[in-house]
Amino acid sequence: MSRRPLVGLLYNPTVPIVLDAIGERVDFIEIVPDRLWHDLGIRARHRFRRSRSAVEELRRYAQGRPLVGHGVGMSLSSTMPLDEQLLDEVVASHRTLRYRWYSEHLGMLLAPDRGIVDARPGMGLPLALDDETLDLIGGKVRRLGAALGTRVLLENSAMFSAPLHHDMSEPEFFNRLYRLTGCGMLLDLHNLHVNTRDRGIAADDYLAQLDPDIVVEIHLAGGDQSIDPRADSLSRPMLDEAWQWASTWAPRFRNLVAITYEYRESHHRRRGLGGIGHELELMQALAAGIGEARATGMT
């Protein structure tokens, strides 16, 4: 793999417009596999209805670029067993699209009672950061990695409510999960920003506590500042603060292989190609700087 981190985009229906116009700024594409099918729920006889046209469009526009999977449905932190049906569907999509690696979120996205179909709170819930949760997630991460035969990353989530009890900080939890399972971290700097503002987390302390070897991918995004608590809406330009963190910290992460820009379709309409292109340009410059420093042995 290249010593220079790749710059990618999280795929949405407007990404083809970006690829057509300024595709040279996009090295890889990240896909939410859950958007490639309709999930009719665990009680449905034929639960997953695949969108063949979505997969075909994706392949057409990827044009040989590496693809990366970024799942939103596993909720590995929930206390119920791994959703084996969903896992099978993710594995099937991996067979078709050959993800370089696969990520999910640390936050809890499913309520524990699987008797309720689609029991989703609609936002990432915080979890208890203790040994029990570490064992629970560690087991599922191993199972997911073995089923996919590819590396698994977990992303820090934006927390919309007060945290549950903690026996360890979130960075320490990620560090221990890495030592236990080899699971890397997808560091989302916008989510960190949300937690800085809404949950009082000190960003520099958080970043300094992370074992620099665990960060494999960074997510950059812009959220909506007009609502409180600030949502992970991914609909605005990148915040200066998050960009500063990226510029300062990304060069220190020796195993960083990818920097990904997340935006929603609405962001494309708001800022247009120029705005998205500008952010991709900044990311490419950051990646190039890291690549040069690595080549000269400065990191």
- The residues of the shown chain that bind Fe ion, judged by CB under 5 A, are 188, 219
Q: Cα(137)–Cα(131) distance, rounded to whole angstroms? A: 10
Burial 247-261 (b: 16+ CB within 10 A, else e): eebbbebeebbbbbb
Q: Cα(87)–Cα(23) distance, rounded to whole angstroms? A: 32
CB of 126 to Fe ion, least distance (A): 16
CB of 296 to Fe ion, least distance (A): 31
Q: Which is nearer to Fe ion, 219 or 271 (CB)?
A: 219
Please, which residues have CB within 8 angstroms of residue 284's CB and are 6 or more apart in sequence?
7, 25
CB of 177 to Fe ion, least distance (A): 17
Q: Cα(286)–Cα(220) distance, rounded to whole angstroms? A: 12
Q: Which is nearer to Fe ion, 3 or 286 (CB)?
A: 286
DSSP 64: T
CB of 101 to Fe ion, least distance (A): 14
Q: Which is nearer to Fe ion, 27 or 188 (CB)?
A: 188
Q: Which is nearer to Fe ion, 94 or 105 (CB)?
A: 105
**Within a 10 A sphere around the Cβ of 63, how many other Cβ atoms?**
10
Q: Which is nearer to Fe ion, 72 or 179 (CB)?
A: 72
CB of 19 to Fe ion, least distance (A): 20
Q: Which is nearer to Fe ion, 94 or 219 (CB)?
A: 219
Please, which residues have CB within 8 angstroms of residue 60's CB and are 6 or more apart in sequence?
none
CB 11 within 8 A of CB 58: yes
CB of 37 to Fe ion, least distance (A): 21
